[in-house]
Chain A
């Protein structure tokens, strides 16, 4: 859901007037992107649900301060990322890595057995790399590559300018690329180039 999308007609207004149905509609409209962000950062479905709950309870409590003319999604995403990192800092560790799940999920990414193995390995490497990124770079990666927000939208959520968001993405990709196996990073050997041509 792009950030620029405005809210459904009068949803915030109805929520502000105390309609619980409107709040439920508000929740159903925005729960998926919020939950996705929380899950991508924490990698813990239960913790992500807690964060989802906290985020919407907070939204309800400050509903009178929500703007009616813009989508509340950037604000919700910002609250979510803040909640995620404060929870993570408190826990100091993720509860349960989902490596097994990820491995199973990526098994059918490609049909060739050698590519399946390689993809699995690379994705595991990337998962560890994403976890090791500083929070700001991690948020940038999640907003840009998972949600597909534009640079401007991601920058709005992360409360920074577009240049900073670009820079965070560059550094994140650089760090992830450094984790790739050597043969994936180095230029192709000359012999191979000739062969390919």
Chain B
């Protein structure tokens, strides 16, 4: 077995006290090998001096009695609010912790509302979304009114400033458009002209 490996095993033994089945063999080798003896000596001395160096850092000191007085005073107080960037970070974290579930709930509500009010399959087809566009919506009004009313009623309705029709600039939900048409058609007197 090489000195290198023996040293590694021996240093483990010396440092951590992990004896193995080969410990006796290693020790026998060290007795015969000056280089390994030196390694062991250096490591042992280093550990001893390291302990001394560490003890030298702490041995001369004791915590003063004022420490306990300070602890007692502070322990009696409620936990002070943190200041500075740490406090700001914690506040932001708390805000996010509240806002994220709220936003998630809102998103879920909007999504489920869309799912419920949209005809089956409509939300899946981008082309169907065009149904809710303004032009298409007006066409649907016309079609719906024509069923029950004369065509001119529709023309009058379309040009009348006294009737407030929803005129969205972009898309509107399909269900909303259909409901508007229903409300609108029930308000038109049969055969009448709206001015």
Chain A residues with CB under 8 Å of chain B are: 20, 23-24, 27, 31-32, 35-36, 39-40, 43, 45, 48-49, 52-53, 56-57, 60-61, 98, 101-102, 105-106, 109, 119, 122-123, 126-127, 130, 141-142, 145-146, 151, 166, 169-170, 173, 176-177, 180, 184-185, 187-188, 193
With A and B bound together, what is the CA distance between A122 and B42 in angstroms?
Answer: 12
**Inter-chain contact B16/A187, CB cutoff 8 Å:** no
Contact residues in B for A141 (Cβ distance below 8 Å): 50, 54
Contact residues in A for B35 (Cβ distance below 8 Å): 187
Chain B residues with CB under 8 Å of chain A are: 12, 15-16, 34-35, 38-39, 42-43, 45-47, 49-64, 66-68, 70-72, 74-75, 79
Contact residues in B for A127 (Cβ distance below 8 Å): 53, 56-57
With A and B bound together, what is the CA distance between A49 and B56 in angstroms?
Answer: 17
Contact residues in A for B51 (Cβ distance below 8 Å): 145-146
**Inter-chain contact B57/A166, CB cutoff 8 Å:** no
**Inter-chain contact B50/A56, CB cutoff 8 Å:** no
Contact status of A126 and B50, CB under 8 A, knowing A102-B56, A187-B35:
yes
With A and B bound together, what is the CA distance between A52 and B57 in angstroms?
Answer: 16
With A and B bound together, what is the CA distance between A126 and B72 in angstroms?
Answer: 37
With A and B bound together, what is the CA distance between A20 and B35 in angstroms?
Answer: 59
**Inter-chain contact A53/B57, CB cutoff 8 Å:** no
Contact status of A101 and B16, CB under 8 A, knowing A35-B63, A61-B75:
no
Contact status of A123 and B52, CB under 8 A, knowing A53-B74, A145-B47:
yes
**Inter-chain contact B34/A130, CB cutoff 8 Å:** no
- Min CB distance B141 to A, Å, is 66
Q: Do most interface residues of chain A lie in helix, strand or loop, or is the interface mixed?
A: helix
With A and B bound together, what is the CA distance between A184 and B48 in angstroms?
Answer: 14
**Inter-chain contact B68/A126, CB cutoff 8 Å:** no
Q: Do most interface residues of chain B lie in helix, strand or loop, or is the interface mixed?
A: helix
**Inter-chain contact B61/A188, CB cutoff 8 Å:** no
**Inter-chain contact B75/A60, CB cutoff 8 Å:** yes
- Min CB distance B7 to A, Å, is 11
With A and B bound together, what is the CA distance between A141 and B55 in angstroms?
Answer: 12
**Inter-chain contact A39/B57, CB cutoff 8 Å:** yes
Given pairs A98-B57, A170-B15, 6 additional interface contacts (CB within 8 A): A24-B72, A40-B57, A48-B61, A127-B57, A141-B50, A193-B34
With A and B bound together, what is the CA distance between A170 and B12 in angstroms?
Answer: 9
- Min CB distance B47 to A, Å, is 7
Query: Closest residue of chain A to B34, judged by CB?
Result: A193
Jot down 11 A-B pairs with beta carbons below 8 A, ordered by A.
A20-B72, A35-B63, A39-B58, A53-B67, A105-B56, A106-B56, A123-B52, A127-B53, A127-B56, A169-B15, A187-B38
**Inter-chain contact B56/A53, CB cutoff 8 Å:** no
With A and B bound together, what is the CA distance between A138 and B67 in angstroms?
Answer: 25
**Inter-chain contact B53/A180, CB cutoff 8 Å:** no
Name the one of B15, B57, B62 contacting A102, with C-beta atoms under 8 angstroms.
B57
With A and B bound together, what is the CA distance between A48 and B64 in angstroms?
Answer: 11
**Inter-chain contact A49/B79, CB cutoff 8 Å:** no
- Min CB distance B89 to A, Å, is 14
Query: Closest residue of chain A to B51, judged by CB?
Result: A145
With A and B bound together, what is the CA distance between A32 and B59 in angstroms?
Answer: 11
Query: Closest residue of chain B to A46, judged by CB?
Result: B64
